Amino acid sequence: MLISSLMAWDNTPRKLEKLIEPGTEEPDDLPADAKAAGEEGDEEEKDKEGSEAAEAEASVEEQPEEGEENEDEMEEKSAEPAYESPEDTEEPLLHKKKIKRRYLNHAFTEEDYKTRQASGEFGIIKEVEDLVLMAQRAGIKTYVIAAGVLYGKGEAIFNSHFKKAWLQNPERLPIVGEGKNYVPTVHVTDLARMVKKIFETKPERQYIFGIDNTKKPRQRRLIQAISEGIGTGLVESIDIPPYFEPVHPARTPLQLDLDWRKFLLLNIKAKPSTLFVTGDAGAGGEGEDEPAEEDTGDFKWFCKSGLAANIQEVKSEFCKERNLKPFKIAILGKPFTGKSFYAK
């Protein structure tokens, strides 16, 4: 049984389904060169899927909760007129027309594991996963648990934010970029229980998502919860770094003292495994419910609803593991007896 990471999916294109509003389709009578321009626009749209789709999600984030998780909206500029009428004609023969495209952002399921793609830095994780999956044969069962970003029991990846929130220095916790990206998470206790569950039930599937049931696991929501639960409640966006320092060849790419920004920039919309979650929409937020045959519904969660919903419990763990004890001191006295001096 390999405990792996969703970082092996960090370069996977999102599952977007393009929808075109009625009455906004491209007309068939466009000149050939205008159509070509439109097709080039479509190609550019595919090439810029990451950035433009992120902008699309940004616009949806401001909408009501019902639409936040299901649709990404964006507008694409129509092709420029390929030609105009002669000078003595006042109106052009071809008018500009905006084509509004909307997208459904579907959540990944465990069955999509063959489509996963990793960046160069985390490619080794995917290679090890494939080796474990291929090792299954008669008398040998192999499993891969793709865990989300870990939290709990003193913190590692989120340690920087917990420390800053505890000290309230700085007052605003950093969010990388706009924070609209999806960051699936799992408490380390729940991950351990998942391993036990898989060992006991021996499911048929080999690739299993080890993530909690956070409804909207966006980066901004996670950092906002830490700030409100421990610190001042304030957050701010910081720039996404143009590049990261390369990992030392003698170290694993999942070394926990690496830059936390790499993990919080993960953007994978994933549906929790039906081995552990039943009757819930899950992190995908799609409202799908397809329980597997081996699901018994008896999994005992520690933090089923994720970091934001259990921030006080996780905070208590952080304080206990690091022996942190909050205290306040009251200094009383008559005027001009040195209270301010000694307080400083």
Quote the Cα angle for 110-253-236, to 5°: 85
CA dihedral 204, 207, 212, 214 (to 10 degrees): -110
Ordered strands of the 99-106 beta sheet:
15-20, 99-106, 71-76
Name which of 99-103, 167-171, 279-283 the model is least confident about. 279-283
Tokens at 341, concatenated: 């001096």
**Res 278: pLDDT:** 80
Quote the Cα angle for 144-149-154, to 5°: 115
pLDDT per position as a tens digit, 166-190 = 999 999 999 999 999 999 999 999 9
**Res 247: pLDDT:** 66
**Res 78: pLDDT:** 41
Closest CA to 186 of 207, 162, 209, 212: 212
Name which of 56-70, 159-173, 313-327 the model is least confident about. 56-70
0.85 surpassed by pTM = no
Name which of 95-109, 164-178, 313-327 the model is least confident about. 95-109
Name which of 46-50, 132-136, 208-212, 323-327 the model is least confident about. 46-50
> Does residue 125 carry a pLDDT above 70?
yes
